[in-house]
Amino acid sequence: MNARPSDRLAIAVAQLNATVGDVAGNAEKVRRARAQAAAQGADLVVFPELFISGYPPEDLVLKPAFQANCRGAVEALARETAGEGPALLVGMPWVENEKLYNAVALLDGGTIAALRFKVDLPNYGVFDEKRVFAQGPLPGPVNFRGVRLGLPICEDIWGEEIVECLAETGAEFLIVPNGSPYWRQKGDVRLNIAVARVSEQGIPMIYANLVGGQDELVFDGVSFGLRADCSLAFQLAAFQEAVVTTQWARRGATWVCENGPKISAVEADHADYAACVLGLRDYVNKNGFKGVVLGLSGGVDSALCATMAVDALGAERVRCIMLPYKYTAQESLVDAAACAKALGVGYEILPIAPAVEGLEKALAQTFAGKPRDVTEENLQSRARGTILMAISNKFNLMVVTTGNKSEMSVGYATLYGDMNGGFNPIKDLYKLEVFRLARLRNSWKPDGALGPSGLVIPENILTRPPSAELRPDQKDEDSLPPYSALDPILERLVEREEPVATIVAAGFDPETVKRVERMLNLAEYKRRQAAPGVKVTLKNFGRDRRYPITNRFRDVGVPLPAPDVSLVTGAPVKTEAFDF
């Protein structure tokens, strides 16, 4: 164990990408980071929340075998700290007195020198930690080489009580392991919360966040440090792994960071795009696919998805298929080919007429006397979906689904057709945002992207009216309100949960709002069967917004009545559970 005066600390932040369930692989990442931090002269290496198990482990963490595996990995790492090299601060699940905790362990001198358990378990939005973890007691600081470290875990700093308790019991430094997922403007929210805690107690803080994709969630990193005066001590890059050692010195009654990088955060549309790419990359790679296949229609959604796939995986791992029918415009054929060429992907054309006509022939007797309608239109989409899934099976390529949030909101998609696939990088982007990110990508490429620079999505794709091309001269606006009206209404209904009357009062057409609200509710059964996709907004379909499929409530658009408090004459009724 290194011996250093307690007036100086070299603390490394290991902003790394864990994989849920890969306990051995995550532990090996800890070892490699420790070696890297040792070369940088670190005394302590800080890892994100639940790094050993991966985050969020969901119900996997309830399996006794998994719990034992995590504990065994931590005990092995603890023994390895007996010799030279820095101590470790590692997040993992921990069973104590038959209770399961979200814990952080200080590994030093060959032992598990201290354990602390998460107190404030989030149970909202994408989080349901109360389902699996027990609440820890209010913590005191941990003594590390003469320095009293407060170790609140993620949500523990979102309120005042836990940090206040640490300060009152002598903590002189806050180190916060986090698994804080990305959504738009989340970085500002995190920083404001951290500044509030530091300001209240006058204690510096290191905020170590996870990076990487886990199913719908993307963790963006952007780990940072704050001095006791709330000034920024350091900040790491977004969406990238890093092991960075910062030097801290005791100056009077507080600690001051003497060095550290200050990398500007990626923001707004740039961050959304980077999140979609990282989420797709990790979903494909962590689940063992050789690459991806998608239908390239000549429209903006599939063009953006193809571009994201190339940026995530490289052109050699992306296969694009044009699946034309008699309603496919020549412009679409030209634009799809141009996009594929610009991206450098494998590209082929597979006409679907034989498949569609075969299905219609098989159904001819059953459909005799019935007029043609959306049923026949959907046969085209389902033929495309079946062909893409066959290619997926044959070549072990995951099908990328290309529907946007506007379409998924109102059910403008075909089950077992264009909804087929394994993952959707643009699932949480409204149509207008898809156009915006496509234009952005033509003028900018994110750090680490594997695709080409420059114009990769043909300008004609960005200016043509959107169409599913399932009937002659079809336009999306034949079936939907214009996206300029639809998307703002959806954002108010989905992200903000605003009543219809409130949206109408904001100036939107009443009949359009009621129509959109009805379509949103009726499409729940489709969304329940949709592929997962990257979360970038405050409330995505899936982990965030969980509505019942069978649901008769409709917001009819009348102003909400004020509650009649005069009717509440007693205390809340307490009910006893029946023993069935």
Residue 247 lies in a domain: yes
The residue-averaged pLDDT of 13-31 equals: 96
Residue 78 lies in a domain: yes
Domain closes at, from 231, 259, 287: 259
- 3-state helix, strand, coil split of the chain in percent (to 5) is 40, 20, 45
The residues, ordered by sequence, that sit 6+ positions from 534 with a Cβ below 8 Å of its Cβ are 213, 216, 218, 275, 276, 279, 280, 424, 425, 426, 427, 428
Is 241's pLDDT higher than 60? yes
What percent of the chain clears pLDDT 90, i.e. is strictly above it?
80
Q: How confident is the model at residue 572 (pLDDT cuts 50, 70, 90)?
A: low
Measure Cα distances from 254 to 42, 44, 202 in Å.
Answer: 20, 18, 8
So what's the pLDDT on residue 265? 84
Q: Which residue has the tokens 């963006």?
A: 220
Residue 535 lies in a domain: no
Residue 83 lies in a domain: yes
Q: How confident is the model at residue 3 (pLDDT cuts 50, 70, 90)?
A: very low
| Same-domain check for residues 59 and 199 | yes
The beta-carbon contacts of 388-391 under 8 Å, at least 24 apart in sequence, are 388/293, 388/294, 388/295, 388/321, 388/323, 388/420, 388/421, 389/420, 391/293, 391/319, 391/321
Rounded to 5°, angle at Cα 532 from 530 and 536: 120
Kindly provide the b/e burial profile for residues 317-334, where b requires at least 16 CB atoms within 10 angstroms of the residue's own CB. Answer: bbbbbbbbbebbeeebee
| Same-domain check for residues 431 and 469 | yes
Q: Which of 304, 309, 280 is nearest to 293 (CA)?
A: 309
| Same-domain check for residues 21 and 57 | yes
Contact, 18 vs 208, CB < 8 A?
A: no
| Same-domain check for residues 285 and 160 | no
The residues, ordered by sequence, that sit 6+ positions from 305 with a Cβ below 8 Å of its Cβ are 294, 400, 402, 424, 425, 426
Q: Torsion angle, CA of 273/274/278/284, rounded to 10 degrees?
A: 30
Contact, 524 vs 542, CB < 8 A?
A: no
The residue-averaged pLDDT of 371-385 equals: 92
Annotated catalytic sites, by residue? Answer: 49, 118, 154
Is 171's pLDDT higher than 70? yes
Domain closes at, from 447, 475, 503: 475
| Same-domain check for residues 417 and 279 | yes
What percent of the chain clears pLDDT 70, i.e. is strictly above it?
97
| Same-domain check for residues 236 and 312 | no
So what's the pLDDT on residue 577? 43
Q: Name the region of 538 (left: φ>0; alpha: ψ -120 to 50; beta: rest).
A: alpha
| Same-domain check for residues 178 and 308 | no
Is 207's pLDDT higher than 70? yes
Is 361's pLDDT higher than 90? yes
Q: Which of 100, 43, 97, 108 is nearest to 74 (CA)?
A: 108
| Same-domain check for residues 199 and 289 | no
Domain closes at, from 426, 449, 475: 475
| Same-domain check for residues 335 and 231 | no
The residue-averaged pLDDT of 396-409 equals: 95
The residue-averaged pLDDT of 345-361 equals: 95
Q: Which of 189, 187, 215, 63 is nearest to 126 (CA)?
A: 215
Of 569 and 311, the one with more pLDDT: 311
So what's the pLDDT on residue 392? 96
Range of the domain at 336: 270-475
DSSP string covering 182-224: --TTHHHHHHHHHHHHHHHHT--EEEEE-EEEETTEEEEB--E
| Same-domain check for residues 253 and 277 | no
Q: How confident is the model at residue 311 (pLDDT cuts 50, 70, 90)?
A: very high
Residue 353 lies in a domain: yes
Q: How confident is the model at residue 571 (pLDDT cuts 50, 70, 90)?
A: low
So what's the pLDDT on residue 420? 93
d(CA 331, CA 8): 66
Tokens linked to 139: 């913590």
Q: Which of 188-202, 221-235, 547-561 shows the lowest mean pLDDT across its residues?
A: 547-561
DSSP string covering 470-527: SSTT--GGGTS--HHHHHHHHHHHHTS---HHHHHHTT--HHHHHHHHHHHHHTHHHH
**pLDDT per position as a tens digit, 73-109:** 999 999 999 988 999 999 999 999 999 999 999 999 9
Number of domains in the chain: 2
Pairing of strands 224-226, 232-235: antiparallel
Residue 509 lies in a domain: no
| Same-domain check for residues 392 and 311 | yes
**pLDDT per position as a tens digit, 452-509:** 999 999 999 999 888 776 777 778 777 889 999 999 999 999 999 999 999 999 999 9
Tokens linked to 482: 């214009």
Q: How confident is the model at residue 54 (pLDDT cuts 50, 70, 90)?
A: very high
DSSP string covering 532-568: PB---SSS-BTTTB---SS-------PPPPPP-GGG-
| Same-domain check for residues 145 and 277 | no
Is 4's pLDDT higher than 60? no
Cis before 56? omega within 30: yes
Is 9's pLDDT higher than 70? yes
